[in-house]
Chains A and B, each alone.
Chain A
Amino acid sequence: MQAVYAQLLVGLINGSFYALLSLGLAVIFGMLNIINFAHGALYMMGAFCAYFLLNIGGINYWWALLLAPVIVGIFGMILERTLLQWLAGLDHLYGLLLTFGIALIVQGIFQNYFGSSGLPYAIPDQLRGGMNLGFMFLPVYRGWVVIFSLVVCLATWFLIERTRLGAYLRAETENPTLVRAFGINVPRMITLTYGLGVGLAALAGVLSAPINQVRPLMGADLIIVVFAVVVIGGMGSIMGSIITGFALGVIEGLTKYFYPEASNTVVFVLMVLVLLVKPTGLTGRAA
């Protein structure tokens, strides 16, 4: 039974990365109509940013948790200003191709300097050790990742669905011209939204650094699973991304216990099954 709980925890952790990444993708897709293929590369940059902050600047994990998303978010905003904004009004597919190119550049540069092996990032002192919950042993850091990312996800949901700023955002995805008529600077909102989505990816990267090590390709394979998560959940709602992300992580974790051979493929198999029954995804709107 211990092993089931352990895999359940691994699943929840992976699920929190899936949720943070697919949430960022959903936010960006809503505003820019772009499937951000560079999301995995930006997640990796978040982890590297935390690594640099610690090893070069001597800045600890807690500050990295705040600074890395801001730094990578600013990088994302520069990308949006210099490259992505020229795609407005073009077919969605050009955004996919452009961000794929960006991902190749970023990952290629990091691979040149750091090879493909992992760099260690230590768990911060305050979160070391573990707790005995009676039915299982819970490493504190892992529990922290799950709870912290859940809080961040819900805060993002609150920001977009329950605040005035979020109302502007949602209005802009519906009708940018009308929103501009109210005197809102739409291009700046788009840039900030891209920065927010990228920041969420970078935050996931910082959270994952102590668990998965810091590797140039850490985002490359993850992003494809996240795309499958997006297809399963559909991009219709923010809450849909969060729930689907966590749920699929858990399912993947349980598969690892009951039938390990299928653990790499279970998300994709689920995607096929969902598509056969409900092509728009669980919470999705028609494309």
Chain B
Amino acid sequence: MTSITDETLPITPRAMRDEMIVFVIMAALLAIVPWTGIYPFFVMQALCFALLACAFNLLIGYGGLLSFGHAMFLGTAGYCSAHALKVWGLPPELGIIVGILAACALSVVTGYISIRRQGIYFSMITLALSQLLYFIYLQIPFTHGEDGIQGIPQGHMFGVLDLSKSTTLYYVVTVGFLGGFLLIYRTINSPFGEVLKAIRENEPRAISLGYKTDQYKLLAYILSGSLAGLAGALKVFVAQNASLTDVHWSMSGEIVLMTLVGGLGTVFGPVVGAFVIVAMQEYLAGFGQWVQVIQGVIFVACVLLFRRGIVGEIARIGNRSL
């Protein structure tokens, strides 16, 4: 059985150079957004999803594990951050840390359970676990059920950065995204990332080479879950609420779609995919449920025709690794 993302090119100095150039362009573009007249709220929202999709991609693209429950990290971190900010009155930086820690703890528990099975079983287990959490969050008091946690104070980060100013908030979210992105990039280019790829290509062989593959997969899962938690915590400041939609399994489907559209297993694919899908939802909002139908058509088209996604196809045409 071929792996789901066996198209990635080897890491060469040229590939690293290409990727660094694209990264610098991306960072420069993000830096000038407040002066371009683009609605910053849209970009911030897209950045949160981009980080989430990158975290998801770390697992599927480099570990071969398709998590269909990544919304649970987004939602859990969101609820915990929101609670810490609103009820405990913590400053923003500590609120974000609470969110990441909650997602990290959740990923330790769910990872321990789910990596016992591979392939589609892994996907179904993560999906079921996230639905379990959905029902728990629907019932326990601190999430306020259907209402969610509303009116979250944005506060002053480190006592100086006023997050209620949209430009300040924008840069904080951008720095959070770029930091998470670099951490993922560093991970996939490390010896740890190489072992992950070896596991994805041929797990029995990796085991026979002496690697404890379950530990590697669990570690990748925890890292992915924690970074998804960072995305969820940042999203609380952007949206100023935490609600059940972030935990529902359809959100997990959207994360998969973003990554698939951009390109599974490519470095920049999830970012491009997230911007495309968030833009689509923004501009097609008037079409109601047809947006869902369009997303379904994109899913089908990607799987049948453009399995490499936007960035994957560009990389193939240019014979580059992106």
Contact = CB atoms under 8 A, between A and B. Distances in A.
B284 interface: no
Interface string A96-111: 1110111111111101
A245 to B, nearest CB: 15
Interface stretch (B39-47, B90-98, B235-243, B285-293): B285-293
Contact of B299 (A89, A100, A107, A224): A100
A268 B125 CA distance: 9
A275 B298 contact: no
A106 to B, nearest CB: 8
A279 B117 contact: yes
A4 B1 CA distance: 48
Interface in A11-56: 35
A90 interface: yes
Interface residues of B, number: 46
A101 B288 contact: no
B296 A92 contact: no
Interface string B251-262: 001001000100
A92 B233 CA distance: 33
The interface residues of chain B, by DSSP majority, are classed as helix
Interface in A254-287: 261, 264-265, 268-269, 271-272, 275-276, 279-280, 287
A231 B125 contact: yes
B298 to A, nearest CB: 7
B135 A264 contact: yes
Interface in A98-155: 98, 100-109, 111-112
B132 A269 contact: yes
Given A93-B119, A227-B127, A105 B297 contact: yes
Contacts, number: 128
Interface size class of A (residues with CB under 8 A): 35 or more
A158 interface: no
Contacts of B300: 83, 98, 101-102, 105
A92 B118 CA distance: 11
The interface residues of chain A, by DSSP majority, are classed as helix
Contacts of A272: 113, 129, 132
A272 B116 CA distance: 11
Interface in B77-126: 113-114, 116-121, 123-125
Contact of A227 (B124, B292, B304): B124
Interface in A223-265: 224-225, 227-228, 230-231, 261, 264-265
Which one of B127, B249, B260, B295 has the greatest number of beta carbons of chain A within 10 Å?
Answer: B127
A158 B249 CA distance: 36
B298 A96 contact: no
A94 interface: yes
A234 to B, nearest CB: 9
A211 interface: no
A265 B116 CA distance: 21
B20 interface: no
Contacts of B293: 104-105, 108-109, 112
22 contacts: A35-B123, A92-B1, A93-B120, A93-B123, A96-B120, A96-B123, A101-B298, A102-B296, A104-B293, A104-B295, A104-B299, A107-B292, A108-B293, A108-B295, A109-B293, A224-B127, A231-B125, A261-B139, A268-B135, A276-B113, A279-B117, A287-B119
Given A101-B303, A104-B253, A268-B129, 5 more contacts: A86-B304, A95-B120, A108-B296, A268-B131, A287-B119
Interface of B: 1-4, 66, 68, 113-114, 116-121, 123-125, 127-129, 131-132, 135-136, 138-139, 249, 253, 256, 260, 288-293, 295-300, 302-304, 307
